[in-house]
Structure 1
Amino acid sequence: MSALTNVPSVLSRAGVTSALALAVAGATLLAPGAQGEAAAATPGTKALQVAASKRGAPYQWGAVGPHRFDCSGLTLYSFKKAGKSLPRTAAQQYNRTSHVSAGSRRPGDLVFFHYGSSVYHVGIYAGANRIWHSPKTGSTVRLEKIWTNSVWYGRVR
C-alpha cells in the first residue's frame, strides 16, 4: 500500500488541504534543505539533517556545539554525528575532502568560500544554491543562498 493511499482521508479528517499537510501525510517532514529518507543513507545527507536541526543556534567563534557553533564547528559537529571525522578549520576541511565541480555538487557536500587561494568560510550544501551555515558573530545557524561565485565544493568520504 502506498504512503499516499490514505492522504485524502487524512486530509479530510484534519480539514487541511495545504501542500504542507500533503508533505507531512506522504512522507517524513524534514527541515528545509534536508533530504528524504531514501537519500539519508550518505554521510553528507545525514550531516545536512544534523546542521538543519541546529537552526537558530548562536554563532560563537571557536565553538563546536552542541549549542553554539562557528562555521567549521558546525560542519565538524554535523559530520561527526553522521559518523565521519573532519579537522577543525575550514581550510583543513577543504584539504581533507574530495573536490567536486559545481555541476557535480550534491546536497551534503561542503561549500568552501575562498579569496584567492585562502579558504575563509564553510557550509553544507542544501540544494537549490543554498547552504546551512553559521555565518558570523551576532547571527545564528541558518539556511541561506550562496552569495558569491568564489566557492569550491568538497565531498566527505
Structure 2
Amino acid sequence: MSMSVRLPKNLLLLLTSVLVGITLIFTPLFKAEASVSWGQEVVEVGKRSLGAKFKWGGNNPRTGFDASGYTQYVFKTSAAKIKLPRSSKGQFKLGKKVQKAKLKQGDLVFFKTNGKDLTCVGIYDGNGQFLVATASGVKYQSINTKYWNDRYAGAKRVLKE
C-alpha cells in the first residue's frame, strides 16, 4: 500500500521560492576570472596623467610633474597607497632589486640622465614600455631606445607580489 502526500499549490510554490532564494544567497552569481594586480592598478592610475605638463619640482596633474613627483603621486593615489620619497635617489633605496629581463608592471625603473646621478624614474608597464614625466610631459617611452638604454641604472619592485 503506497501513500502519497499532496501539498497545496501555494505551499509548494512557497517552498520552491524559499529553496531558490537560499541557493542564490549562498551561491555567487559571478565568478571572477582574474583580478587586477597591484602593478596593473598603479599603471592605470599613471595613465590618467598622460599628457600632463612637466614642471621641475611638480607633483600633481594640475600644475605638472617632474619624474619623481609623478611616481610619488601615482603610488600614493593608487589603491597601493605607497608613500614614496620625493627624490629619484630616495625611491631607489626602497624595494627589491629587479633584473631588467624580469621587470613587471608597476616596477620602478631608474635612469642617470646626466651620466652620473640617478635623476629620473618611471613606472614600467610591460613590453619594454614605461610611463615617465619628461621635459615634454608625462608620456610612454620605450626602455629599449638608445637614449634610455644607455642611461638605465636599475629597477626596484616596491609593490606587494
> Structure 2 length normalisation: TM-score?
0.67
Distance 1:39 1:52, change over 3 A: farther
Asked if residue 60 in structure 1 is aligned to residue 58 in structure 2, the reply is no
Aligned length: 117
CA contact (8 A) 1:47 1:79 kept: yes
> Percentage identity across aligned positions?
33
Name the counterpart of 2:91: 93
- Residue identity in the other structure for 1:141: V
Give unpaired runs (5+ residues) of structure 2: 1-32
Larger Rg: 1 or 2?
2
Q: Is the CA contact (8 Å cut-off) linking 1:39 and 1:45 kept in structure 2?
A: no
Across the aligned residues of Structure 1 and Structure 2, the Cα RMSD in angstroms comes to 1.7
> What is the CA–CA distance in structure 1 between the aligned matches of 2:110 and 2:35, rounded to whole Å?
23
**Secondary structure of the residue that 1:92 maps to in structure 2?**
helix
Aligned-partner residue type, residue 149 of structure 2: T
Runs of 5+ in structure 1 lacking a partner? 1-36
Q: TM-score, normalised by structure 1?
A: 0.68
C-alpha distance after superposition, 1:109-157 (max 9, x if no partner): 00000344x2111000011111101112xx1110111231423011113
CA distance in 2 between partners of 1:142 and 1:125 (Å): 12
Q: For residue 100 of structure 1, report the CA deviation from its aligned partner.
A: 0.8
Structure 1 consecutive aligned stretches of length 4 or more whose deviation exceeds 2 Å? 37-41
Separation in 2, partners of 1:50, 1:69: 14
Check whether the contact 1:69–1:134 (CA below 8 A) recurs between aligned residues.
Answer: yes
Matched with 2:100 is 102
Instruction: Return the alpha-carbon distance in structure 2 between the equivalents of residues 108 and 81 of structure 1.
Output: 14
Equivalent position of 1:148 in the other structure: 149
